Amino acid sequence: MNPIKVLVLTANPNNTGSELLGLDAEVRRIEEAFRRSHHRDRFQIVTKLAARPADLRQALLEYRPQIIHFSGHGTETQGLVLENDQGKVQLVSTEALGRLFGAFDNSPIECVLLNACYSEVQANAIHQYVDCVIGMNRPIGDQAAIQFSQGFYDALGAGSTYAEAFNMGCSAIHLEGGAEYLTPKLIGGKGGRAISPVGQGLQAPEPTATDGGTVRPAQSQSIGNVTISGSNNPFNAIQAGGNVNLSQTSTQTSGSNPDLEAALTLLAKLQQEVAATDALTSFAKKDTGSKIVMLQEELQKPEPDKGFVKEVVDALKQGLDGVITLAEPVTQVAGLVAKALMFTL
């Protein structure tokens, strides 16, 4: 009986301006999940680290995997972040990814898991050609991403359907007290397959309804929106260093709390200062801008999530540490927000 092939690709370029992700730990958890599985002999794991666009294309052709797992950075509508030969950022557009998965006349691919921030857009594009696709509809923290992977593959190795494995991945985050258990989004999956209890062949699952719902993400790993330009080549990967534009978001204050009003005013000013500074790389600007927008949106809700607000503020502090002109207003925002929402920093 042919094994079920799982292709695991990771990309963590060294010039994103964000913290390096714990991708080695995630790959290790995936491998451990299958090693302790009763059906471990049914799975073959293929790992491609520091994946380049060519690595993705060649691995699909060479291994013909049933399951594809990508871990790394996402950029919302503009695609996924892979690497070039120098280990720098190389972007692959959403259109290119969709067309790649549609290139197979008789594709063996059953499930694609995009464990990257804002990857729901790419998941929808791939779903045109693959029945079961999982993406993230908001940023997802490093620890939550690892927990989801472990729960998902523990269940899959035990013979669960893709939909059931998805639910177990979300539960793994929730059981650890994480607030991001609603961040993963299952698209399709009703036609997924599972190993039978006796380990003989595959069986079709019963349909399982899942819904990502409203999210409360932790620290963002996203690089933000990156404007891509280039040729009409459907797999054109644009190297960082081109036109990267920070989009400003106007902030409407609720007026219900003077401290929140002051915090939102400071955030709007900080957003402009981040865009103008030379102390941050283009991608660091995008990452910081994304966090500012998320914090602005959360603070304008009737009941902001205190845990999420604190995590984003902490992420901003950490990301701007050492840049005095930017770190000081973040400290001021932190004090105002803590006072308004009555929590301790």
Query: C-alpha distances in angstroms, 120 versus 123, 139, 159, 183?
Result: 5, 10, 26, 10
What pLDDT is attached to residue 121?
A: 93
Structure tokens at 298: 């959360």
Distance CA 4, CA 94 (A): 27
CATH number of the domain that 33 lies in?
Answer: 3.40.50.1460
Q: Flag whether 96 is in a domain.
A: yes
What does the pLDDT average to over 162-187? 93
CB 142 within 8 A of CB 221: yes
Q: Give the pLDDT mean for 237-246.
A: 37
134 vs 140 pLDDT, higher one: 134
Based on the number of CB atoms within 10 Å of its own CB, is 202 exposed (0-12), middle (13-18) or buried (19 or more)? middle
Indicate whether 33 belongs to any domain: yes
- ∠ CA(31), CA(164), CA(151), 5° rounding? 35
For residue 318, which of 221, 243, 174, 178 has the smallest C-alpha distance?
221
Q: Is the pLDDT of residue 160 over 80?
A: yes
% of residues, the chain, pLDDT over 70: 77
Return the percentage of the chain with pLDDT > 90, whole number: 37
Q: Rounded to 10 degrees, what is the CA torsion of 55, 157, 168, 64?
A: 30
Q: Residue 217: what pLDDT?
A: 39
- Quick one: pLDDT band at residue 310, thresholds 50, 70, 90? confident
Q: Transcribe 41-90 into DSSP letters.
A: GGEEEEEESS--HHHHHHHHHHH--SEEEEES-B-GGG-EEEE-TTS-EE
Structural domains of the chain, count: 2
Q: Where is pLDDT greater, at 323 or 196?
A: 323
pLDDT given at position 337: 86
What average pLDDT does range 148-177 have in this prediction? 93
pTM to 2 decimal places? 0.60
pLDDT of residue 198: 31
In this structure, are 274 and 147 located in the same domain?
Answer: no
Structural tokens at position 163? 């939909």
Q: Which of 82, 1, 70, 69 is nearest to 39 (CA)?
A: 1
Q: Give CA–CA dist 118/186, Å, rounded.
A: 13
* H or E element that contains 327: helix 324-341
Examine residue 141 and state whether it is found in any structural domain, yes or no: yes
Q: Which residue type is seen at 173?
A: I
Predicted local distance difference test score (pLDDT) of residue 256: 65
Domain carrying residue 175: 4-203
Pair (121, 250) in one structural domain: no
Tens digit of each residue's pLDDT (9 = 90 or more) over 108-117: 999 999 999 8
Q: Which of 170, 203, 236 is the C-terminal boundary of a domain?
A: 203
Q: Are residues 256 and 193 in the same domain?
A: no
